[in-house]
Structure 1
Amino acid sequence: MRSPLDDTALDTVFREARTHYGFHAQPLDEAILRRLYDLLKWGPTSMNSQPARYVFVVSEEGKSRLLPALSAGNRDKAHQAGAIVIVAVDSRFYEHMPEAVSQFAQRP
C-alpha cells in the first residue's frame, strides 16, 4: 500500500484550493492538455472503466459556438480561458469495456 499524502499535497488539493474567476487568454499547449487527460484517464475505477467523456475546446470558433449555451456570468470567463473542457457522462460506457481492458493491458 502506498503512503498517505503529506500535508503539503492535501493543502494543495483540498484545503487551500479555490475556484479561479479569471483566466489568461494565452492558448494552452496541446501537450499540457494531453498530460492532464493522461492523469485522469487512469483514475482508480472499477476495471479501469471511465464513463466520462471530455471535449477540449481551444479554438476561438469553438468557444464562440459554445458561449451562447453558458450562463451570462460565465461567458466572459470562458471566452478568456485558454481551453474549455466539456465533461459528459457516457451512460453506455460499458459497451466500450473490451476496448478499455485492451488499453490497460498495453499500459506501460
Structure 2
Amino acid sequence: MCRKSLVHSVEDGIPSLLGEIAHIVGEKESAARGRTVWTGSRNDPENLILLCREHHKIVDDHEALYPADRLRKVRADHLAWLETQLTTVQRWRLQLGGGAAGARSG
C-alpha cells in the first residue's frame, strides 16, 4: 500500500523481511474480514497480501475502511504496477570476426 521497501539488508548480507503476510478475508471468522464469504482456502495465495507492519495493523483495526474488495483492488493494482517495473531479459550474442560490434542484442 505504501510501497515501502519490505526487505532490509545489513552488513552481514542476510536480508530481513520486514513485511507481513496479511489475509484479505480473515483466516478465522473472528479475524478482521473473517465473516466475508470466501469459497477457497483462506490461506490461498489469492487471499493473501504482503503489507508493512503498520498497514497490516491499520487494515485489521479499521475493517470498515478496508473491506476485502478494497484490499483485493490494492493487491491487483500493486501486482499490475510490479509488472511494469520488471524488465524482460534481453538475449545477446557475441559477434566474432570482421565487424565493429562486439556484443549486440539479438
User: Which TM-score band applies after superposition, normalised by the shorter structure?
Assistant: under 0.3
Q: TM-score, normalization: structure 2?
A: 0.24
Rg (Cα) greater in structure: 2
Ranked by relative contact order (alpha carbons within 8 Å, sequence separation 6 or more), the top structure is 1
Q: Larger strand proportion, structure 1 or 2?
A: 2
Q: TM-score, normalization: structure 1?
A: 0.23
Q: Larger helix proportion, structure 1 or 2?
A: 1
